[in-house]
Amino acid sequence: MTTAKQPAKAKQNTGAWVVGIILGLFVLCCVGSSLFNQDSGGTAVPAPAVDERTDTVPLLAQATASQGICYGWWLEESFRSPVSVGSNLGDGVAVEEDDRCPRWVQVRARVTYTAESSESSDSAFITVTGSGDFSSADLSAVQAGLARFGLHEDVFVDDPGWAICRAAVALPLLVAETGAAPPAATPTADPAAVAAPLPDAGSDFLRDRWGSLLAAAGLLLVAALLITVGFVQRGRQRAAAPAGRIRGTS
């Protein structure tokens, strides 16, 4: 009689080991996601995509050829090296202190992302700088004009890469509006070619909440596994119960 009950105990021990391993994996998953959130936390400022930079450079080069002014962008993260710089001279080439650009205008943006545990909110600081022949009033007018294109602080926080390239492309028009330069010539293109639209500004929903979504997905997976293990163990117990009773009575 005692020997007939030992297999049932072994099955129960096996089920307990399975549940323990699943719970352990879930705890490691949650701890790992928390560590990743604390390490990066979505605080790294993304650079413009490759196609955004390659599309921006020729547009700035056309404006430079028409107006005689170099245009560029400078995206940086607080207390860190620049994330992305570029100009009509090329991707990665700044207009400041370059002998090829005696006259230049540049849009600068400093974006700061904070951890989810911080009480501070994400922020962006945008300014327009230029060579000494541009007055501070002209540069301030160009900076204020960026808001007409929807390029305010919230947009730079939401998608800094897209926003900095869009702001750089808007510089020639805004400079011409101040009277500091003639209007830039309209870019010419092959009529058969279809210009690719600039991508819409993205959302930081996943950037701020990817850790929580990962933990929720892990919890649902663990729940599904526990339910499956429970059904399997219940079915085995029901199948083994009549045989155990028959052996006991005999």
Query: 86 with 93: CB under 8 angstroms?
Result: yes
pLDDT of residue 119: 72
Query: 46 with 161: CB under 8 angstroms?
Result: yes
Query: 170 with 151: CB under 8 angstroms?
Result: yes
Model confidence at 235: pLDDT above 70: yes
Three-state secondary structure call for residue 10: helix
Place 120 in a pLDDT band, splitting at 50, 70 and 90. Answer: confident
Three-state secondary structure call for residue 113: coil
pLDDT tens, residue by residue, 172-214: 999 999 998 888 776 554 444 455 555 555 555 555 566 677 7
More confident residue, 21 or 142: 142
Q: What is the mean pLDDT of residues 69-94?
A: 93
Report residue 90 CA to chain centroid gap: 24
Percentage of residues in the chain having pLDDT higher than 70:
68
